[in-house]
Amino acid sequence: MPSVDDNLNQWSNHEWSSGGDEWSVGYGGTESMWTWAIRPRIGAFLPAAHVLEIAPGFGRITQYLAPSTPRLTVVDLTQRCIDACKERFKELDHIEYHVNDGRSLAMVPDDSVDFVFSWDSLIHVEEDVIKSYLEQLATKLVPGGTGILHHSNMDAYRGADGELTVENVHWRAASMSAAKFRGFCRDVGLRCLVQELVPWGGPEFTDCISVFRRESPGLLRRPHVIENHDFFAQVQQHRAADIRALTRAYREL
């Protein structure tokens, strides 16, 4: 299972041949990823007064978040990534940059974040890291503040013997699942609102996009769980009607 140190080593020594855009190929490119995969899911939460992006890499999504807020804070485990973002966005004076230890948000003031976002990064961190971030976001978010985190669901594919029943091709965190995310939110007083399960290079739902908010969890309202078998096909084929129908749950929170 990838540890914090494993992630630090991996992304500090990665070639970054296309500045992170190498991971957008499956979407049809970074602009397509933003237009058809990300913006339909986060558009309801932007613009926002203070946006926090966790694990921005070289800023391939940061470039789209920056125009949507007067204050953007980016936090990454890797000094190399933060340095790359500082250089890429050196003309912008509303971005704060921080290197963390892979699990701490101590540099972010309490009751200050309106929207927190992470994509294509926290899929590689185990349950202890996700739990740590959610514990802190329960106080870092303003009341009513919202977050969307893209994380692993590999632990959902574990047999009675404790072993994974599917091959972990894309280095997903093996201890994390959508169900655990819901439990972590409940434990710290966050409400998990929507979870979209998506496949990544196979039929299994190895990934999850979770939407949560700092508000009273309540007793009766359960998260809206979506199983989206066609995630990449919708993006690659620009199936606007299908995407709009599926992401309605994000817009009606």
CA distances from 135 to 45, 57, 60, 188, 190 (A): 21, 23, 27, 6, 9
pLDDT at position 219 is: 53
Structural domain harbouring 203: 4-251
Predicted confidence (pLDDT) at residue 218 exceeds the cutoff of 70: no
Q: How many angstroms separate the CA atoms of 140 and 50, rounded?
A: 11
pLDDT at position 20 is: 86
| Tens digit of each residue's pLDDT (9 = 90 or more) over 95-113 | 999 999 999 999 999 999 9
Predicted confidence (pLDDT) at residue 136 exceeds the cutoff of 80: yes
pLDDT at position 222 is: 83
Which stretches of 8-86 are assigned E, i.e. beta strand?
A: 51-54, 72-76
Predicted confidence (pLDDT) at residue 236 exceeds the cutoff of 80: yes
Predicted confidence (pLDDT) at residue 221 exceeds the cutoff of 80: no
Predicted confidence (pLDDT) at residue 1 exceeds the cutoff of 70: no
Average pLDDT over residues 90-94: 98
Which range has the worst mean pLDDT, 11-15, 67-71, 180-184, 249-253?
11-15
Question: Is there a contact between 243 and 233 (Cβ–Cβ < 8 Å)?
Answer: no
| Residue 237 belongs to domain with CATH number | 3.40.50.150
Predicted confidence (pLDDT) at residue 18 exceeds the cutoff of 90: no
Predicted confidence (pLDDT) at residue 233 exceeds the cutoff of 80: yes
Q: How many angstroms separate the CA atoms of 60 and 23, rounded?
A: 10
Here the contacts of 95-99 (C-beta below 8 Å, separation 24 or greater) are 95/62, 95/66, 96/71, 96/72, 98/73, 98/74, 99/75
pLDDT at position 96 is: 98
Burial 221-241 (b: 16+ CB within 10 A, else e): eebbbbebeebbebbeeeeee
Length of the chain: 253
Give the number of domains in the chain.
Answer: 1
Q: How many angstroms separate the CA atoms of 74 and 39, rounded?
A: 18
pTM over 0.75: yes
pLDDT above 90 covers a percentage of the chain that reads 83
Mean pLDDT of the chain: 94
The first and second tokens of residue 150, run together, are 């893209």
Q: What type of residue is 216?
A: S
| Tens digit of each residue's pLDDT (9 = 90 or more) over 147-177 | 999 999 999 999 999 999 998 888 899 999 9
Average pLDDT over residues 129-156: 97
Average pLDDT over residues 25-48: 96
Q: What type of residue is 152?
A: S
For residue 103, the SS3 value is coil
Which residue would you say has higher pLDDT here, 26 or 41?
41
Average pLDDT over residues 76-94: 97
Predicted confidence (pLDDT) at residue 220 exceeds the cutoff of 60: no
